Amino acid sequence: MNEISKLNIESIKLLEKYKLLIPLIKKIILEDCVKDIVIEEEIMEKLRNNVIEEQKYEKQDFQSFLSSTGQTEIEFWNVHTLPRKINKYCMKEFGHKTKSRFLNQKDKLDSVVYSLVRVEDLNLAKELYHQINEGESLFEDIAKIHSVGPERHTRGIIGPISLEKGHPKLNELLRVSRVGEINEPIKINQVFAVTRLEHLDEAKLNEDMELQLANDIFEEWLDKEAALVCSNLKK
């Protein structure tokens, strides 16, 4: 990271004044991390063909485009391969930590869609529950007419949303509910809620999830490294 060592006190103060110091440090650290990551030639060839085909470049047009932007061909492809290099680096360095992260954060990763009606009177909540449960009224109509929360604007539908973001009592109920089941009113803070589970999407530790988690861990590491470098620069 020789670029960081080239920063003098004046440039550091100027960058910090405009909140550019940390982003610059992160960019330099990132480039240092992926500098030795190699993208397989087969993948590179597909990437080149896809980009040129999407932009409808002829060979001569492509060279003209590079000239107009002041980029070399290497610089152009470095930009396009950076996301792949980051993903490859993340899995190489942090892939072994994804299972533990997944187990610790599963509640955050699971998502749910449910219908909700909230009213302030318990007797009204019970009456609305019976109307919906017995097919006398549609959940969405009840929500639009009676709900005191913003779900009245979405005909009672909430989500997809992380289970962790809901009230603990509601989350517990939804986890044990069956899809399509109307749940009797429960008290949440100052209101009574009638709910129906529409869909529960339980997160799975597949390749996409592993990559997402590895990227999350890398971002946290990058933030800490940048903060440490920044602190040392100001000493």
Whether residue 16 is predicted with pLDDT greater than 80 in this model: the reply is yes
Average pLDDT of the segment spanning 5-17: 87
Average pLDDT of the segment spanning 137-150: 96
Q: What is the pLDDT of residue 126?
A: 97
Nearest to 94 by CA among 226, 204, 221, 228: 221
What is the DSSP-derived secondary structure letter of residue 166? S
pLDDT band at 164 (very low <50, low <70, confident <90, very high): confident
In the chain, what are the domain boundaries?
A: 2-101+208-233, 111-201
- The tokens for 44 are 């590179």
Whether residue 203 is predicted with pLDDT greater than 80 in this model: the reply is yes
What is the DSSP-derived secondary structure letter of residue 16? H
Whether residue 55 is predicted with pLDDT greater than 80 in this model: the reply is no
More confident residue, 112 or 63: 112
Amino acid at 166: G
Whether residue 119 is predicted with pLDDT greater than 80 in this model: the reply is yes
Average pLDDT of the segment spanning 17-28: 94
Nearest to 183 by CA among 172, 112, 146: 172
Nearest to 228 by CA among 25, 47, 14, 77: 25
For the whole model, what pTM was predicted? 0.76
> Cβ(181)–Cβ(204) under 8 Å?
no
Q: How large is the greatest C-alpha to C-alpha distance in the chain, in angstroms? A: 76
pLDDT band at 1 (very low <50, low <70, confident <90, very high): low
Nearest to 116 by CA among 200, 197, 194: 194
pLDDT band at 59 (very low <50, low <70, confident <90, very high): low
What dotted CATH number matches 111-201? 3.10.50.40
- The tokens for 49 are 């063909």
Residues 6+ apart with CB under 8 A from 84: 39, 43, 47
- With H, G, I as helix, E, B as strand and everything else as coil, classify residue 137: coil
pLDDT band at 52 (very low <50, low <70, confident <90, very high): confident
Whether residue 162 is predicted with pLDDT greater than 80 in this model: the reply is yes
Q: What is the pLDDT of residue 150?
A: 95
CA distance 112 to 178: 12
